[in-house]
Structure 1
């Protein structure tokens, strides 16, 4: 009996342990399934992510605790794709760092607010776009929120004011608009962030006044950076209540009014930059700012005042910039004896009297710029070792004076000599010589210091090299040496320097090393010396990973024979439970990865995409509309599939673009395309009526456009006579549609396949841009203004710059549109009889003759009535601007629209008229017999490997 009792007890313990095992396996399976679903929308994943369990198989960038995923750190891995809502399933996630992945795009999913344990949300230098979701305010444990250097739009979410644990808030370098949110009633605001140290909002488009309530004495802010925005009004006196401040930037806004006098109480401020505003009134006494190193009040409208004597009391001052601030009088003798003084810029003032500097001045002095003042005499001790600039003063205007400092000079110091320790060392291709003469593939990037108190010199930067190396080695990273190169000051007043970090003991970093280095900078783990102030790091893509395989040895478990059977039984139970729940979770993850799996005809099922006016059609509905897709209703075909004409029960005519099964997209890509088409609404864009995702169908339903394509009208196939006025109006309409995509869609969109076959004409000959199958979100572009992607489009219309570099920009659409404009003139396809339209026009042109001597290549319909071609030369000039080889020389679509509107007015037409509708039929044919306006077929349709030649 006793043995039986012990046996029952053992069985209970075994079952209890089995349940625990199943539960642990279940939770772990949840995380694994969620991560698998999340990454289905990602490309270019690390090789270790191909097999096994994220925790058990040591996936790179994944940190686990008790079989739960608590960290995803994949900075600088060149990931591509979007961030899906599956992320919310990782309920134990603490750290998410996807920084420096410039091909991560799309919006931040609102479900991110469900990650309630998240402490670090770091997405620096990606290409995320859209609005920052209000749900971010639900992340109450958040300490670091870094969304800078993306393409976020809309207002700063007021809900961020709920993040009472927030230490670092960086939303700089986006496209944020609206006012600065502050609390009101039950609505939170930034003024509630009393524990936050960093407000970084520079390089956005924030507008309106700075609220008085934004600052209060309870705050512990050290950095307040609102530079390069569109703020108006005055600087509130409440700023002077935040006594912890160390760096303040409100430069390059439209601020006005007097400076608050209590700003001088901020004794801890090192950097105060208020330049390039419209500030007025007197310059207050700032002698109480005893820590001040950088003072920049340049380019304001202060009252005329003597050069302040209190400046000489600022013993920490290194840089003084007060250009064009209405200073007058002479400079006090003690001015240049400030011990740390390096740079003085006082040009464009009314400083007069005698400028004198003896043998006693700061040993750090590098530059004195007093150009364009009223200085009448100069006494300078010989042998001075700094740059002196005195051009455009009365003293230098005397022809007898021929001194170097009287010559007009550009401000020096904005670029510095590259630091090279081994200039003669030759390294293999793409490798770089390290400071200790070893060749390697370094981890590289750019430091951008946003409020440096000193612009330094080579000695400063060598000291910084030593500091960075020491800190990285303290962090136990595999680093041998670091080098700083190419230091300069940019147009925003930021100090930029290129950093190269060299690996130790080998000539490249593996993925773990790159992830670790990137995280040190993206997470602000590395803190530079105080004089450099706050920074952002912009990492370069690293491609030289070692790719070494690792063998994971497994240690066998030796168990006593007496308990072997029990352990075996327990393991079998666990294995069975794990397999069951893993299968269940995998099925669920697969369903979640399919966004249409739970849709119903009313669109009330789960995970319905955000649609604006697009309707869900069942397959049966579309079959009825088209008589079961009869060939009689087939109006075209292309690589995507066939296009059918249909009639809805309410009488609306529709065009149904039905994919063939061999060309079906993935469900997530199809969902994204439907979302894209459903939210663009403009009279010059073809309207998406709805879609069908039913019984294996992927079908788009458009409004029916009766007069076919522009190409058909120009070629005469449609029977519509395209006179000059109608061509102008069609050009204007299609340009406006494209301008909407570039400038008004949110986020903006690059069409990528503009051609006359994708411009349709309705019953009033209103132009409508169609076929968004190749479109890319403009939010996908990086800080350089392009997105790197496979070349797709139609030969003859392809931007040669995009063709050669794979770098797609909005100017690629402009090039294609320029080719369409030349089609308007010639009625020829871009490549016809082996001739390229752009080259033909350029060779035939003679600007000294009427119509530029283009009659030989013009459409004969236009040549027969040249007296009506008002604005023809301006039209051709604009087209040729659009087809410039380099995108930087092409106009924007907004500029194109304005120029065409001007030409239309010259022709005596109203550019805001609804259409250029035909009032009668032409050649006995009414405007209505078209073949395939929605198909994407073309003799020159292109998608794939770039050939070795390019268009002329």
Structure 2
């Protein structure tokens, strides 16, 4: 009998109980799919044959009695799954919804999906699928309603054949590098039910076909960020159901079409960043529901249509960077609930309409660089909703309305470059949110009121080139938030405030060209981040304080004063050649007569000779011992460096030597962390072993070697990491940003030396079993510290810096549990040539922390960091990880929102805090912080506050702080 026949007989003779315990077909298919995937976070760990697959997380079965065990939905979004698509999922006959979005899947799209008869929703967005869209997708999917392939790496030509899916309602192909292709002319004919067409950044070229007007069911049309040319066809006015039209960032030209005013449901129109010319069609503002109109950065000319005054729903108007001229309609705003106006960089003249805030909702008014004249309307002084006013470089005159100085929510008031006069009113004491007061280059006069010292949020005061006089208010020294003070070229007199130690955040002090007298306060040398000091052209007397040697200054100018005495050797170098001109009694080296005074003092110093000689002897012995010890360490350090000399670049004054660092790298017991970029060592560099004598050293391998593509990619990544850390941390200084002491390079090795944070990362402490050690006050302080660090990056750095990987593991804790933001390996500078929204080639960040729009658009803004920080805040309030099995198929943001909806706010608060006996007042604070966190984690960037506002909102949690108003961004998500 053959072995095959014996095997067949054994199978036939198996007990019937064995057949009864066989797995259902769908269970087997799901387990096979699980085996084919990489699951680093164990998101599918509960998929086990011991339980019914209908009870597995992320799996929903049919509710039909005839097929109750059939898989109907697989919701596998954002689980860090990797590998190629598991084709076993194509064998689930009842599958209606498949969501694998925001994972790390690679390889080609599976053609077999098109054969699933019940599939209605397919979402494979936010992965790394490559190659062409299978042609079978245009011939199958008999029931498909939604096809989302956005944010992948799909190439070849644009898949025009998808227009054959006649049942389709949503087609989302945005942000794929398709080969340059025109938009199919007959696309609308094959998609009669289409409601959403999202084709942003799909490589589209050529004209928008006139057949676009045949999408009669279309709600959202997004063709932005392509290379479309020509004019917008007039037929676009036939889209009677359209709510949102996004055409920004193309090469469209010609005139804007007539007829858009007939679109009864149109709410959002964005055709910015094109080459449109001519006048704005007057009927455009007659669309009855138009809320947002963005036409900025075009070549539009002519006047703003008078119909603007009849726009009954308009709240967001952005027409900046065009060639618009003439006056604004005087009734503009009388019929509109205006919130945001930006008409900057045009040639608009005449008066500012007094009706802009008639609806009482205006928050931001930006009309800089125009030709406006006359006074600022008194009505704007009554607009208490204003948060940002920018009117610089116009021809405005007269006094600022008195109430405008004290608007309670205003955080930016910029009036520079006009002909405004009068004084700064005492009502400014009410402007508790004022962060920037920029009034340079006007004709303001009088004294600065003492009430300016009550501005607890003031970061920048710029009032240069005016006619201010009198003494500087002593209360100005109380503004601890001040980062930049520019009062040059006025007529201030008297002495500087004596106690300026509270200016711990001051980076620039410019008081040049005044009549200030007295001594230069030595306390200026105690300001930790001051890097620009200009006190020239005043009447200061006395010596140059030796304490100024403590500063790391990029600019020092004390010229043209009446300073006397000797300059210290530090200020005698060439770099300070022009810093002390015009002080005839100030000497480099010894002043005349110093030698004679030295001879008279010689007799009195004879008694010190023996003491000095003894000190020299002791120092000599210590020096000999130090050189012997250093030579011993150098031998070990040379081995650690592969025999090559280490090149050291310092960013702060350091007392340790490279040998102190290298000697600690040979002992693996010193390893305190390991990450994707390398190992982190704890290095003792002093004799005491205290916190001040310890540093953290990140060891990177920068060479390619011969390890193939993977090794090269890792080496490139590590080199980029090192360069990004150096470029960022090497130039910034803030108490809540981890300090980079220095870097060392030797061949293919690199070392980054940081200040040591004894309590490690917030993530490890909070989620590593010791989270109960962090009571609520400690958690509150941590999130406030981290928020201040991020606010510094976004608002006080020029240009701003986006971290791109904000998470709890990148927030480090010092010995007192003070928090500092760390790990700038993927940080990016934004602004400059990149523009305000820089594009990146790949998504950076960690699962659970990535903002939704970042995955789609690959454009970085500060609002991406705000979302990530919102997740960190939720971790601190709930005690849960950003993603994890305890959250099921949701991330932390969705879990918190769902839990609050079903079980109330208290259900999400960390129970360990309750066990610790937190009082009711702390619970109230936690609820308030939770509200701030959810605002930060809004799916819409426009709804997220800025980091500066987050700091204010967190401070508002304390009972003695004033309310803060959040700042909003301007970008929208598609409406589905």
Judge same fold: TM > 0.5, yes or no: no
TM-score bracket, normalised by the shorter chain, equals: 0.3 to 0.5
